[in-house]
Amino acid sequence: MNRRQPAAGWILLAGKRVSRLGLGTMRLTGAGTWGPPRDPDAAIRILREAVHIHGITHIDTADAYGPHTVEELIRRALRPYPADLLIATKVGLVRPGPDRWAPLGRPTYLRSAVEASLRRLAMGRLELCYLHRVDPGVPLEEQVGELRTLQTEGKIGHIGLSKVTVDQIRAASAEIQVAAVQNVLNQTEPDDPAVDYCRVQQIPYIPYRPLNAGTLATSEGGAGEALRWLLSLGSHIAPIPGTSSPDHLKGLIGTLRPVMSAEQP
Burial class (CB in 10 A: 0-12, 13-18, 19+), 57: buried
Q: How far apart are CA 227 and CA 230, in angstroms?
A: 5
Residue type (1 letter), 124: G
Q: How far apart are CA 239 and CA 207, in angstroms?
A: 5
Q: How far apart are CA 176 and CA 148, in angstroms?
A: 7
8-state DSSP, 176: S
Across the strands, what pairs with 66?
Answer: 34
3-state class of 99 per DSSP?
A: coil
Residues 6 or more apart whose CB falls under 8 angstroms from that of 138 comprise 105, 106, 107
8-state DSSP, 191: -
Please identify every residue annotated as catalytic: 65
